[in-house]
Structures are given as structure tokens and as C-alpha cells.
Structure 1
Amino acid sequence: MRTHAQSEPSVALYVHWPFCRSKCPYCDFNSHVRERIDQTRFAAALRRELATEAAALGRRPLRSIFFGGGTPSLMDPQTTADLIADARALFDAEPNLEITLEANPTSVEAGALAAFAQAGVNRISLGVQSLDDAALRFLGREHSATQAVAALETARRLFGRLSFDLIYARPGQTLAAWRSELDTALTLVSDHLSLYQLTIEPGTVFEGAARRGLFALPDEDASAALYEQTATVAARHGLAAYEVSNYARPGCESRHNLGYWRYQDYIGIGPGAHGRLTRADGLHATRRHRAPEPWAERVERTGSGTTHDDLLSQQDCAREMLLMGLRLDEGIDGTHFAARTGMALEDALDPAILRAALEEDYLAWSIAPASTRLRATPSGRLRLEALLGALVL
């Protein structure tokens, strides 16, 4: 299990800012609404937790930083600057370190973008979600389409790299309407888009509304048609689907998120943050306390908000790597899989299901002298969740 740490010793840093102005009806992320946020307290706790992690981990190369949430653009930009400076001091930052911050396109948050750029953020990801005002109201968003376009224009001037999110497969959405919205979106972005189908998550407002029959999502065939059209339209604009929900020009992929999908090490700090870290005895999965105030209290008391630190078995690692890696267009390299998990790729798969998936053209298996590679085909990515449930031992 140490082989991976020796050959790929870099880490990424994820910083979770858990606060939002309001809770979106589709969102099941660890986000919290507070009338007042003690910025000083939470900034100090984040910096202390980062220092604790660095002391335990040692000085390793740092490949990326990602500020997520919640709504990290509600964070004081000085906190962002301090955390970036701390990370650079505690780790060996790789050249062209990617530093991403998620933001919403409300006028208040867009007004703070210049301060975040000055703090050291070099990539922005805007939660646009739709360019249609009626859809934005349905999704519970606080901004308008006009505000979204204005925020995108501001972000393009300030940051070297820009991405934004859209949610599609909304109730009643037609192929023609989505094609028009996506064409417009692709004229506004230069290198990267994240395009997510709307799903109903347990415990959300939308779950209750859907259960009461207030709306229905497109059926499986309609969703598949929307997905296929998404890839076609994006490709026409020069953006390829490098992951199930992410599209980019060559070389413009999110390096931070690629690290997740390639099953590389990352540190997660902040309430509810997860991490995956290679240590002397193997790969550990870490998780922080989800609730912001108890997390901060724990950090103030012990230096860390960690509630779980579990050594993963070979089977755990293999399962996670398959679940993540088959989302990527590039798939999973057999040599990397063996180094990371201690198992041969074929030993982690149900042979009968694998054979059937290959015959149905849901998976592609390439064998070369140096390595093997398993990847999901475009038709396989449409069925990935069901396929993985049966395929992975």
C-alpha cells in the first residue's frame, strides 16, 4: 500500500465552508444557514486544523486547493488568503498550483470576486445552475439569469480559468429548450462546464415535493436523450466529456477533481469534510464533524475536527477506485489500480458481469504490453450506477 505514496506523493487540499444564505431545495450537501457567522472563529479553526494535518502528514507536494461548500464566496477573502499562504508554507506547492473557489452569481458575491483573485484564487466555479429565470426560481436560486451573465463576465476578466454549473433534466424540460440553453452557456464559458442532471436526494425539500406529486422528473428515456444531446452540443463547441458530468477543452480539466476520480490523496478540512490519505499502514478515510459549531469546538480543544479515521481494506480501496475511475472517459489504468489497491484489476470484478458488459459495449477493456485499461463507453456511462452495483465485488 506504500507503493502509491512513493510514486504519487502529492496531496490536494479541500476546504469546506459550510454556510449558505439559504438552503436550495435540491441540495443534500453539508450546508447550514445562520443569521450570524463568527468569521474570526471559523477562520482560526480552519487554519489550526490545516496545521494539525500538515504536522501529521509531513511536507508533501501540494497539487491543488479547492474551496467548496456551502458557499465559500461568503467567506472573508482574507481567510482565503491566509489559508492559501499557510498551505504554501506547510507543503511544497507544485508549479501552477490550481486554486479553485466556488461562488454564486448574486451581486453581493460577484462584488467580492476581485478580493478573492487578489487572495490567490486562480480558478472560479460559479453556481449558475440555469440561464432561465423560471428555472432559477424553481431551483430556489437567489440570482437572475442577467446577474449570472454579469458575474460570468466579471469572473472572466479576473481569473485565468472559469467554470460554471448547470442543472438539466428538469421537470418538463424539452430537448429543444435544453439545446438552446446549453448553446447559450457554451458561448459564455471558455474552457470548462459542469452539467448535472437533477436528482431527488433524500431529506431535501424536493424529495417531499416529488413524493406529493408536485412535479416529476423526465423518465429514463428522456433523461438519456438529454444526456446524449449534452455531449453532442458540448463537443460541437470544443468541450469533451472527460467525466460523466464534466466537459472541458483539452488541458482545461479540473485538476483538483481529477485527483478525486483518479483516487489520489487529498486532505479535507472544515465541517463534514472527507479525506483520503496514504500512511505507513495503508490508505485512510477521514471525516470531520458535520455540524459547524461542534466541529469548531473540537478543533479548539484538540486541533482537529476529525470524528472518523478508518484504515481501508484492499476491497474497500478497489471498490472506491472503480466507483470513481469509471466515471472518467480515460477509465482506470491497471498498473495504477494494482499499485493503489494491492489487487489486480480483474480480481476486483465479477467475471460474468464483466463479460456481459463487454459484450453489450458498456465497457471497453484494452490490453497492452505494459498495462491494461478498463473504461466505460458512452452507453455504459448512461447506466453507470446500475452497472457498478453489479460489477464490483
Structure 2
Amino acid sequence: MDTLEQPNLTRYAALLPDTGEPGFGVYVHWPFCAAKCPYCDFNSHVRHQPVDQERFTAAFLKEMATVRQLSGPKTVTSVFLGGGTPSLMNPSTVAAILDGIGKHWHMPDGIEITMEANPSSVEAERFRGYRAAGVNRVSLGVQALNDRDLKFLGRLHDVADALKAIKLARDIFPRMSFDLIYARPNQTVDEWERELKEAISYAVDHLSLYQLTIEEGTPFFGLHKAGKLIVPDGDQSALLYEATQEITAREGLPAYEVSNHARPGAESRHNLTYWRYGEYAGIGPGAHGRLTRGSMKIATATERKPESWLDLVERDGHGMIDQEQLGYEEQADELLLMGLRLKEGVDLARWQQLSGRDLDPKREEFLLEHGFIERIGNSRLRCTPSGMLILDSVVADLAC
């Protein structure tokens, strides 16, 4: 097994510490990809002609101005450039977007600024430009550490490309994470354990480990429905999940969320904003937001098709097609849904304030007795490892 030289961890101190507060994040969606992966149901689009980055940049900035009117003045605690494949953007595009965020909201030094990237060699060469633009955390879509499964997953890179991108990211960015997909067809626990241990040897402080899910509307969905793609059953998936938790905890990267693992202090600040049910502005095609106005929360959503979004922004100043005011009960349900994904759990006082009621004592007692949830003192509630395996059911029971 090849190992990479360990990075200089003293550089991490430059990022502001996590305060534990939900925060205010800005999410910017770059919707374009070089190819569409067969498992992906994200809002991503392939264009065979060059994208007019200057025109899209101007539209991002225009939509920011409108969203700023909705949000009011805020202090940004994180920025996330997602996609699609944001590493298809020119560094100058990234710099203009980050400058725009700083113009519309207060953006302190040292906040986390993440960019998703695919580990092809051409994109990796842009890393220094992204770092100069202000990106201080990169999230690489590695997905597998063998060429057979990378091909199966429709990835354009091979393992050599991935390791080159990981090394470059470790050298350039203060923080780095990469994704892997497991529970792939015919994958055994032993195979996954070996691959995961190899991944940990390359990781710095964060890994995102997702089970393969078959999403409607994807090529994998059709193959699965036709019986041509068989994924591990529930029991095998549970064994793979349990092995994941055991190995990452032993190696110092415990789960802080269902699918995310980090060394203490290296958790993704932006994703914590989602799971702690904070506020976030969604900019770009298909982006979603949650903005607070007074005591109410507004859910925003933009047009998904890039060119249609672009036309709307140029005409109206934004591409939003939905602004829904969420009632207190809806907010309470979302808080529960998001917060129970976290190891730190849910702030019960906050949930009670939104919902206007206590948890149903019989439902809570049932889940406690069966070891699916546990109290953290008197103030918080969280899922146990067993509860995480049936998270949707636990949330549904508690929300009733």
C-alpha cells in the first residue's frame, strides 16, 4: 500500500473554531459536469460547448443581491461551492463569486470555504488558483480506490488520478476531504475494510462515506429494476455500515454524522449548518435555501435547468421559483430530521419551542427501551448507532 507524506497540521489553526452555533452559510451551485455518473440524481448537466462563465458569474452576483434583500445583513460562517463539478470553473470565476459574497454579507477571515472537485489531472492543476482565490477546503469525489469500481461508477478518473489529486490537495489546502461510495454490487465486508483502511492512510482529517443508493430517474435505477444491478441487501448493508463505524472510530475519524467522519475539530462547518438547522442562502440553478425573517423561516428554491435559470436571473434579478414560508411545526420536523443525523443530537428546548409541545412520552420510551435513541443530559436527544440504521423510522416516530 502506498502512503502519502503527512501534511503540516499546524496550518489548520488558521480556520476559525466551531462555536457550536447553527450559523449562516452560503451555497453556490455550479451545475455543469464533464459526464453524468449513472448513480447521480443531483442537478448536474453535461454541455458539449464551452459554458459562458462570465455570463453565469454575472448572474450569480445578480441573484446574490436579491437574496441579500431577503436575508438582511448576516455574518457568513461558511461557503460551499457545490455541483455539478465546481472544479470546472476558472479560478477567476471562483474569485469573483467569493468577492461577491463578501460584498453582500460580512465574511470574516478564517471561515471555511469549501469547493467540490473531481480528481482528473486537468482540474487538479487549477488547485493553486482556487487556493489563491480564497478556497481553504476541498472535497474530492474519489468514490472508489480500485479502477474496476471507478469504471462501474462512471467516473472519468482512475486511482492514479485520485492519488495525485489527493496529494496535491494535501499540499495546497489547509483542509481536505474525499468521498467514497460503498455497498457496491458484490462488495464484501473484508474488501470494504481493506479499501477503507487504505483511504484512511491517505486522509488528513475528514472522510465522507456514503452507501450506494439507487435513485429514481438514474441509469442505475433502470438497471436495478430490470434485475441487472444487484446491491447488497439490508443485512449486508448493515454489516458494511457497522464495519465503517468501527474502523473509522478506531483510526481517529469517528462519525459525527451518519455518513461523515472527522478528527475532532475538523468537521465540515458548512454541513453542520444544515444539520444544526441554521440559515443558508442558495445561489445558482437548483439551489435551495433556508432564510429567517423575524420569527419565520423561508424555504427558497431556484429553477433547475441552467439556461432557464440564467434567463430568469437576467430578467428578474433571481432564478427563484419557490419561496415558501415554513410554519413552526414544519420547522420543528425539519430540525428533528436534520439534527438526529448528528452524533451531538438535537437541542430539545429548541424543538419544543418550535413545535409547541413535548415529545410523546410513550413513543420516546419505546425508542429508549429498544436502544434506538438516548438522552444527553436533560437538554439533548440523539440516535444510538442502532438507531442510525433505521434513522427515517426513528424520525417519523418522534415527529408524530
TM-score where L is the length of structure 1: 0.94
Contact 1:48/1:303 (<8 A) preserved: yes
Deviation for aligned residue 1:102: 0.0
Q: Residue 117 of structure 1 aligns with which residue?
A: 131
Deviation for aligned residue 1:94: 3.3
Query: Taking structure 1 as reference, are residues 8 and 172 closer, same or farther at Cα in structure 2, changes over 3 Å only?
Result: closer
- In 2, Cα distance between the equivalents of 1:351 and 1:361? 15
Which one of 317, 333, 336 corresponds to residue 322 of structure 1?
336
Deviation for aligned residue 1:364: 0.6
Contact 2:22/2:272 (<8 A) preserved: no
2:396 aligned with 1:389:
yes
Deviation for aligned residue 1:58: 2.3
- In 2, Cα distance between the equivalents of 1:352 and 1:136? 47
- In 2, Cα distance between the equivalents of 1:192 and 1:281? 35
- In 1, Cα distance between the equivalents of 2:270 and 2:108? 13
Contact 1:318/1:343 (<8 A) preserved: no
TM-score where L is the length of structure 2: 0.92
2:66 aligned with 1:52:
yes
Q: Residue 321 of structure 2 aligns with which residue?
A: 307
Q: Cα deviation per residue 1:347-372 (whole Å; 9 max; x = unaligned)?
A: xx45433221111010112443xxx2
Q: Residue 283 of structure 1 aligns with which residue?
A: 297
- In 2, Cα distance between the equivalents of 1:22 and 1:78? 23
Contact 2:131/2:172 (<8 A) preserved: yes
Q: Which runs of 5+ in 1 are unaligned?
A: 1-6
Which one of 366, 376, 381 corresponds to residue 374 of structure 1?
381
Deviation for aligned residue 1:95: 4.1
2:242 aligned with 1:228:
yes
2:220 aligned with 1:210:
no
Q: Aligned letter for 1:34?
A: R
- In 2, Cα distance between the equivalents of 1:294 and 1:54? 22
Q: Which runs of 5+ in 2 are unaligned?
A: 1-19
Q: Residue 199 of structure 2 aligns with which residue?
A: 185
2:63 aligned with 1:63:
no
Q: Aligned letter for 1:357?
A: L
Deviation for aligned residue 1:118: 1.0
Contact 1:9/1:60 (<8 A) preserved: no
Q: Residue 44 of structure 2 aligns with which residue?
A: 31
2:30 aligned with 1:11:
no
2:278 aligned with 1:264:
yes
Q: Cα deviation per residue 1:225-247 (whole Å; 9 max; x = unaligned)?
A: 10010011111210110000000
- In 2, Cα distance between the equivalents of 1:330 and 1:213? 40
Deviation for aligned residue 1:314: 1.2
- In 2, Cα distance between the equivalents of 1:352 and 1:29? 38
Query: Taking structure 1 as reference, are residues 331 and 221 closer, same or farther at Cα in structure 2, changes over 3 Å only?
Result: same
Contact 2:375/2:382 (<8 A) preserved: yes
Mapping of 1:119-138 within 5 angstroms? Answer: 119-138=133-152
Contact 2:22/2:276 (<8 A) preserved: no
- In 2, Cα distance between the equivalents of 1:97 and 1:330? 22
> Aligned with 2:107: secondary structure?
strand
- In 1, Cα distance between the equivalents of 2:286 and 2:276? 22
Contact 2:24/2:278 (<8 A) preserved: yes
Q: Residue 14 of structure 2 aligns with which residue?
A: none
2:30 aligned with 1:20:
no
Contact 1:9/1:61 (<8 A) preserved: no
Deviation for aligned residue 1:8: 6.5
Q: Cα deviation per residue 1:18-57 (whole Å; 9 max; x = unaligned)?
A: 0011110000001111112121211110111112212332
Aligned length: 380
